[in-house]
Amino acid sequence: MPKSTAIWEALQSHYQEICDLQMRDQFAQDPQRFEKFSLEHNDILLDYSKNRITDKTMELLFKLARESKVEEWTQKMFSGEKINHTEDRAVLHSALRNISDKPMLIDGQDVMPEVKNELQRIRKLSESIRSRQWRGVSGQPITDVVNIGIGGSSLGPEMVTDALRPYGIHDMHFHFVSNVDENHIMAALEMLKPETTLFIISSKTFTTQETMLNASTARKWFLKSVDDTSAIKKHFVAVTSNRDAATKFGIDPENIFMMWDWVGGRYSLWSAIGLPIVISIGMDNFEAMMQGAYEMDQHFKEQPFEKNIPVVLALLGVWYNNFFNAQSYAILPYDQHLHRLPAYLQQADMESNGKYVDREGQQVDISTGPIIFGEIGISAQHAFYQLIHQGTKLIPADFLAPITDYHCIMRHHRVLMSNVFAQTEALMKGKTESEVRAELEAGGMSGEQLEALLPYKVFLGNKPTNTLLFQTLDPKTLGGLIAMYEHKIFVQGIIWNINSFDQWGVELGKQLAVKIQAELEDASEVTVHDSSTNGLINYYKNNRPEKQ
Ligand code: G6Q
């Protein structure tokens, strides 16, 4: 148990020593603080100097990583050991972007030939669609690609396709349908013509209820106007490890792409689950993204902890989560193209580390994964930053921003960046009572009026942030950033001694929904649940329109 270790205790008492330190004083005392607490990898700069840390804090945190055997576990992960022990699976998403010639083994078997073969197939399919060689039933090229999938089979491809839109093919539209609420699929279908639409049914299991229902609605919609089941081949492809089910659906086995059990859904955008990305940006750009991720993998494996960006991010997260008792963590991108990054990281982080049972099957005695939330930073400034600045909760945050904007409209970009720098400075420094007083007096206020307003205008500051600057959000950098967060999550899981790669917590609700679905079929009163659930089900049944 981490809490009973000497290093945990040392960190606990160190916290007591430094928790009242003010970052503004630390900056005043040490002009080298930025140089000391910043790291670079390729074109990514991490400034972590605006954190409530000293040299000693980092020393202790690095010791925690060493004693938690982060290096050994990293070695196990990359060498294909079945570290996802509750599902008896290896965790080898890094093989999907292994652009080297080195083999990657599971049970003594090199997985790379299969991975490379699948990449070739993806290249072939995507090129024929992008070059308009792929023709639909009426001989027209594809104009719209609809990804039907949910969770890991949707969030990654959607986030990346949006993020790399400037690199995407311009006269093709991409739609992501995940919700079983018919409004989602209907909104997409309303815009589309069956003869020019390609559906990608993305489901590792090909049994996920939401995806299967949406796929069957899409199939019906398609066959309603194209009354020919053999045409399904030209308009539906699948990414799955359940080939039989996809073939039964009518998909040409040639167009069924593989998934492996050693890739978790939320880590799968590098596989054929990334097909919408490849169709949008082309295989060469996708390979650049893999290159960025591969180089981050090497950085993570090879750099000492002191220079290792994912490790440093992970340790800072642990520091706030476990010693400052911070409950949440904000992801604040200042690049519009990253607008789905917070949602993507919510799944990546919370499904991985939202666990209360440790690797030995015991209940943990420490807090594990934080609540991840976020939004495009500039919009969030006008919404929830109030709470980060002046609320009662400590919310560590990552600010992410590009140095060069894609469109290069300098005026916009300078305003944007001035906000990044201003917000992190404001969060760190705050504004003292005497600063507020001086400001109000300079504005001509005095006496009772000044005293009454003064407390509301004070900012306590000392709010921690990391700033990640990168040259531009190109495929390679995005690949690096995603891999950086994947490894951060991994390191935290090791320190908390949990399995970051299963997701049993999503099962219970699914099981109950199957039972309740049967109860919704007729009008009879339901009495088998608690009074709230019975009451809600019966209220719904009594008030729904006849035909529903
Ligand atoms: C991710 C999870 C989960 C999964 C979805 C979709 O790590 O496993 O989000 O991706 O439940 O599952 P299918 O791909 O099997 O439809």
Cα(325)–Cα(319) distance, rounded to whole angstroms?
9
**Segment 268-320, tens digit of pLDDT:** 999 999 999 999 999 999 999 999 999 999 999 999 999 999 999 999 999 99
**Segment 161-201, tens digit of pLDDT:** 999 999 999 999 999 999 999 999 999 999 999 999 999 99
For atom 1 of ligand 1, the residue with the nearest CA is 265
Q: Catalogue the E-assigned strands of 246-370.
A: 256-258, 328-333
* Residue from 208, 219, 211 nearest 177 by CA: 211
Residue 510 is a catalytic residue = yes
CB atoms within 10 A of CB 269: 31
Decide whether any atom of ligand 1 lies within 6 Å of the 156 Cβ: no
Cα(522)–Cα(473) distance, rounded to whole angstroms?
52
Decide whether any atom of ligand 1 lies within 6 Å of the 211 Cβ: yes
Q: Quick check: helix, strand or coil at residue 464?
A: coil
Decide whether any atom of ligand 1 lies within 6 Å of the 389 Cβ: no
What is the amino acid identity at position 28?
A: A
Q: Cα of 503 to ligand 1 centre, how many Å?
A: 9
Residue 35 is a catalytic residue = no
User: What are the distances in angstroms from CA 453 to CA 273, 445, 459?
Assistant: 55, 10, 13
Q: How confident is the model at residue 547 (pLDDT cuts 50, 70, 90)?
A: low
- Report the pLDDT averaged over residues 348-370: 98
pLDDT at 36 over 70: yes
Decide whether any atom of ligand 1 lies within 6 Å of the 89 Cβ: no
Determine phi and psi for 190, rounding to 5 degrees: -55, -30
Cα(224)–Cα(471) distance, rounded to whole angstroms?
49
Decide whether any atom of ligand 1 lies within 6 Å of the 265 Cβ: yes
Decide whether any atom of ligand 1 lies within 6 Å of the 430 Cβ: no
To test the pocket of ligand 1, the residue of 153, 256, 349 to mutate (highest count of ligand atoms within 8 Å of its CB) is 153
* Percentage of the chain lying above the pLDDT 90 cut: 97
**Segment 501-519, tens digit of pLDDT:** 999 999 999 999 999 999 9
Q: Catalogue the E-assigned strands of 253-368.
A: 256-258, 328-333
Q: Give the atom of ligand 1 at the shortest distance from the alpha carbon of 240.
A: 14
What is the amino acid identity at position 546?
A: E
Q: Which of 382, 521, 546, 547 is catalytic?
A: 382
What is the amino acid identity at position 512?
A: L
**Segment 94-127, tens digit of pLDDT:** 999 999 999 999 999 999 999 999 999 999 999 9
- Report the pLDDT averaged over residues 65-76: 98
For atom 9 of ligand 1, the residue with the nearest CA is 151
Q: Cα of 268 to ligand 1 centre, how many Å?
A: 9
Q: What is the DSSP letter of 373?
A: E
Structure-token match 């109000």, residue found: 440
User: Do 420 and 402 touch, CB atoms closer than 8 A?
Assistant: no
For atom 5 of ligand 1, the residue with the nearest CA is 151
CA 270 to chain centre: 13
Neighbour-count burial of 328, counting CB atoms closer than 10 A to its CB (0-12 exposed, 13-18 middle, 19+ buried) = middle
CB atoms within 10 A of CB 17: 11
Q: Which of 307, 393, 510, 515 is catalytic?
A: 510
Determine phi and psi for 173, rounding to 5 degrees: -110, 145
* Residue from 464, 473, 491, 292 nearest 400 by CA: 473
Q: How confident is the model at residue 2 (pLDDT cuts 50, 70, 90)?
A: confident
Rounded to two decimals, the pTM is 0.97
Cα(276)–Cα(530) distance, rounded to whole angstroms?
43
Q: Cα of 208 to ligand 1 centre, how many Å?
A: 8
Structure-token match 């967060």, residue found: 485
Decide whether any atom of ligand 1 lies within 6 Å of the 299 Cβ: no
User: Do 420 and 334 touch, CB atoms closer than 8 A?
Assistant: yes
CA 394 to chain centre: 22
Neighbour-count burial of 115, counting CB atoms closer than 10 A to its CB (0-12 exposed, 13-18 middle, 19+ buried) = buried
**Segment 456-501, tens digit of pLDDT:** 999 999 999 999 999 999 999 999 999 999 999 999 999 999 999 9
To test the pocket of ligand 1, the residue of 204, 263, 270 to mutate (highest count of ligand atoms within 8 Å of its CB) is 204
Q: How confident is the model at residue 220 (pLDDT cuts 50, 70, 90)?
A: very high
For atom 16 of ligand 1, the residue with the nearest CA is 203
CB atoms within 10 A of CB 297: 26
**Segment 138-160, tens digit of pLDDT:** 999 999 999 999 999 999 999 99
Neighbour-count burial of 35, counting CB atoms closer than 10 A to its CB (0-12 exposed, 13-18 middle, 19+ buried) = exposed
Decide whether any atom of ligand 1 lies within 6 Å of the 264 Cβ: yes
Residue 234 is a catalytic residue = no
